[in-house]
A and B are shown apart, each in its own frame.
Chain A
Amino acid sequence: MSRNPYEDLPPDRFWKHGVATASSSAPPNLYCAKWKIEKSDRIATAGSCFAQHISRHLKQGGFSLLDVEPPPIPLPVERHHAYGYSLYSARYGNIYTSRQLLQIAREAFEGFTPSEVAWTKRGAFYDCFRPGVEPVGLSSPLEVADHRRYHIERVRDLFLSMDIFIFTLGLTECWINSSGGEAYPTVPGSIAGTFDPDRYVFKNLTFGEIYKDILRFREIIDAARGGRPFRILLTVSPVPLTATASDQHVLQATIYSKSVLRAVAGQLQSEFDEIDYYPSYEIITHPWATRDFFESNKRTVSSQGVALAMKTFMDEHTTLRPSATLGAAPASALATRSGDVPEHSPREAGESDLKCEEYLLEQWAGETR
């Protein structure tokens, strides 16, 4: 009698053993990394606000997390996030979409010049591609341009020096400039800027567009590095949309958006050896979990959820648990291009201290939804 292809599969390939009767909240063997992240690998992080958890836990776990724009000393630790420091490997704020990621690479290596850089609010000027990194803005468009030029120089160095790029895909929906095509992290008029329907248009990125954006990003970085290899670890943020500008219910829009992002990540993971996927999205959102991993607003991931997701990640890449290495990150883990290390290790912000522009959108929208 011929055996069927399922007979010799391990237990985690079956729903009954992999999920239904699994004793822990994170199904066993859910994450089997294609390649291990070594402590010596120079890691760059970017993405939507959930990616901040990854940055923090990597740092705490003693991995070599790059930070090319470290906070100036002695700016108080509790003020770092307000100015966009210590969130990611550079001060780019949240990069929610693949289009934002692609355009910063183009700006760094292809001389791409955005059609506008500064947005205004109450007489102050903000970098429209990272409006959340200056809480009260800057004094002039010229100052915004100076800051951005420096930032892009640092981003260039980051992309050239990294070994692994961890990117959390957050959204498919974005607002783009109708003439230049640039994607913004926030809708104009929320943190700064003025919404003009003739100037800014809504865009819901498709599977094909996101797929191409990421491959194009990889191509640009590859070319700049002269073929020196780097790996990409993709994740999908489990955080639902705050609001949708599509004509769908926000739940439908969220599932659609996350499904597209998840599908792109899966496609890239299956096609390229150097691209892997970490299933934080599945760990947090799968409805068969023994616990609800969202706060009462059904949007913010609970600290237990974050802890579980990050434990699963860290267990795969190290024998050390995050809790065992809390605060033990060596100063060298915060390397900069010049080799400088900060004189003090920043105390990490709590789980609730994520810098999330999307949250601001909710405040802006008030009770209308």
Chain B
Amino acid sequence: MRRVPSGAVGRRNPLKEVLIAGNSQLGALRNAYLLDKDVVSARLDITFFATPGGSGPYMAVENGRLVASDRADPNRVFWSPAKASERPIDSYDAVVVSALGFIDGFTNDLPAAARVRLSTFKPLDRGTVPFVSEACFRELIRAALSIQPGFIFLRNLRQVYKGEVIVQPFPYHPSGVTRRTGWQIASRYDDSIGYYKFLSKIKDSYLSQTCNSLGATLLDYPYADLRSTMFTPEDLVDPTDFVHPNTEYGAAVLQQIAEVLATGEKGS
């Protein structure tokens, strides 16, 4: 099913120099950029910088340049184009932090969430895992997000970079996640969907407040119905791994970025 992304841009604007930094989720955006020369490339000249790691990117700004932080695997640091690694960050019109707000890795939970239980979502394990209230859980997850490399990078970036900072939220899980075996959340909660949505709301709220406080622009999810369903339709997900969004999703995000830079709106 083809969806019309919200905030599609039709008008022409001056070419903007954009740096998109992120983890493996950034792949969808780069593939879309390479394939879609007509719609986006005419308005955006994009440099990509990626280091794998869901809670990343493991990056920092040092001496005016974007570098991989100590936590990043030096063998898995990717620039596109490669020569951009020496480019001063101030030379970009905007920096986009891609896929911020990792809360669940399908087979590996966010440790802060896995160490506790929420009674309200019918936990399956009966062991010594402590119960916490939803209020405490919210604070716990917000604290866990705040110390993720991605958010540390965002705060670092905002301190030293005066241009436009745009944040793309980490995509929701595919809608068919419950049919797949190995989803850790399903092994811990009978009401796994309810729990996942609760977790996602905390992430969305934290992203919104953090971006507001830092003066960064938070993109909405690229399709209008995603925020209500809190799942990514399966036809927008890479069928080979069921974790990463596909090129269509990536193209929709690029359109949102173009919209923000053209009009200052979030593209939702």
Nearest-CB residue, chain B, relative to A138: B133
In the complex, chain A residues whose CB is within 8 Å of the CB of B147: 74
Cα distance A134–B135 when bound, in Å?
Answer: 8
- Whether a CB of chain B sits under 8 angstroms from the CB of A223 is no
Q: Which of B87-95, B115-123, B239-247 contacts A (4 or more CB under 8 A)?
A: B115-123
Interface residues of B in 15-58 (CB under 8 A from A): none
Cα distance A69–B111 when bound, in Å?
Answer: 18
In the complex, chain B residues whose CB is within 8 Å of the CB of A154: 130
Given contacts A135-B135, A147-B133, contact A72 B128 (CB under 8 A): no
Cα distance A73–B119 when bound, in Å?
Answer: 18
Nearest-CB residue, chain A, relative to B144: A74
Q: Is the CB of A143 within 8 A of B143?
A: no
Nearest-CB residue, chain B, relative to A134: B133
In the complex, chain A residues whose CB is within 8 Å of the CB of B135: 134-136
Q: Which of A21-29, A75-83, A287-295, A314-322 contacts B (4 or more CB under 8 A)?
A: A75-83
In the complex, chain B residues whose CB is within 8 Å of the CB of A76: 139, 143
> Nearest Cβ distance between residue A213 and chain B, in whole angstroms?
29
- Whether a CB of chain A sits under 8 angstroms from the CB of B214 is no
Interface residues of B in 97-111 (CB under 8 A from A): 111
In the complex, chain A residues whose CB is within 8 Å of the CB of B130: 69, 72, 150, 154
Interface residues of B in 132-185 (CB under 8 A from A): 132-136, 139-140, 143-144, 147
Q: Which 9 A-B pairs have the closest CB atoms?
A: A146-B119, A143-B119, A74-B143, A136-B135, A147-B131, A150-B131, A72-B116, A75-B140, A83-B136
Q: Please, could you name 26 A-B residue pairs with CB atoms under 8 Å apart, sorted by A?
A: A72-B112, A72-B115, A72-B116, A72-B132, A73-B112, A73-B115, A74-B112, A74-B144, A76-B139, A83-B132, A83-B133, A83-B136, A134-B136, A135-B135, A136-B133, A137-B133, A138-B133, A140-B120, A142-B119, A143-B120, A143-B133, A146-B119, A146-B131, A150-B131, A154-B130, A337-B128
| A residues lining the B interface (CB < 8 Å) | 69, 72-76, 79, 83, 134-140, 142-143, 146-147, 150, 153-154, 337-338
- Given A138-B134, A143-B133, 11 additional A-B pairs, CB 8 A: A73-B112, A73-B115, A74-B140, A74-B143, A74-B147, A75-B139, A79-B139, A139-B134, A146-B131, A147-B131, A337-B128
